[in-house]
Amino acid sequence: MQTVSKRLKSSETRLSLLTVLLLILLVLYALMLVGLLVWAFLTSFKSQQEFRVNVIGLPQTWVWNYTFVFQMYLYPVFTEMGTQYVGMGLMFLYSLLYAVGCAFTATLVPCITSYLCARFPYRFGKLIYLIVIVTMVIPIVGSQPSEIQVAKFLGFYDQIWGLWLMKANFLGMYFLVFFGIFRGIPKEYEEAAKMDGAGNFAILFRIMLPLVRNTFFVVMLIRFIEFWNDYQTPLIYLKSYPTVALGMFNMANTRENGLSTVPMRMTGAMLMLLPILAIFLVFQRRLIGNLTVGGIKG
| pLDDT above 90 for 25 | yes
| pLDDT above 80 for 298 | no
Find the mean pLDDT for residues 123-128: 86
pLDDT at 165: 92
| pLDDT above 60 for 145 | yes
Contact between residue 295 and residue 76 where contact means Cβ atoms under 8 Å apart: no
| pLDDT above 70 for 294 | no
pLDDT at 104: 94
**Confidence tier at 258 by pLDDT (50, 70, 90):** low
| pLDDT above 90 for 102 | yes
Which ranges of 120-261 does DSSP label H, i.e. alpha helix? 123-137, 144-154, 160-166, 173-184, 188-195, 200-203, 209-211, 213-228, 232-237, 244-251
Q: Which of 6-10, 30-34, 56-60, 248-252 has the highest mean pLDDT?
A: 30-34
What are the two backbone dihedrals, phi and then psi, of residue 87, each rounded to the nearest 5 degrees?
-85, 175
The neighbouring-strand residues paired with 84 are 77
Q: Which residue has the higher pLDDT, 175 or 141?
A: 175
- Identify the burial level of 268 via C-beta atoms within 10 angstroms of its C-beta, where 0-12 means exposed, 13-18 middle and 19 or more buried: buried
Find the mean pLDDT for residues 191-203: 79
* Cα distance between residue 6 and residue 14, in whole Å: 12
| pLDDT above 70 for 62 | yes
Q: Report CA 238 to chain centroid distance, whole Å.
A: 19
Contact between residue 76 and residue 247 where contact means Cβ atoms under 8 Å apart: no
- Give helix 123-137 / helix 173-184 axis angle, nearest 10°: 140
pLDDT digits (tens, 9 = 90+) for 66-86: 888 888 888 878 777 777 888
The pTM for the full model equals 0.80
**What SS3 state is found at 159?**
coil
Q: Which residue has the higher pLDDT, 295 or 285?
A: 285
pLDDT at 296: 43
| pLDDT above 90 for 99 | yes
pLDDT digits (tens, 9 = 90+) for 110-124: 999 998 888 888 888
* Cα distance between residue 192 and residue 177, in whole Å: 25
Q: Which fold has domain 70-287?
A: MetI-like fold (1.10.3720)
* Cα distance between residue 189 and residue 119, in whole Å: 12
* Cα distance between residue 129 and residue 107, in whole Å: 17
* Cα distance between residue 212 and residue 280, in whole Å: 19
| pLDDT above 60 for 13 | no
Q: Which of 98-112, 229-243, 280-294 has the highest mean pLDDT?
A: 98-112
Contact between residue 85 and residue 77 where contact means Cβ atoms under 8 Å apart: yes
3-state helix, strand, coil in the chain (%, to 5): 70, 5, 25
Find the mean pLDDT for residues 286-296: 49
pLDDT digits (tens, 9 = 90+) for 200-228: 788 888 888 888 888 888 889 889 989 99
How many other CB atoms are found less than 10 A from the CB of residue 272? 18
| pLDDT above 90 for 108 | yes
* Domain spans of the chain, in order of start: 2-65, 70-287
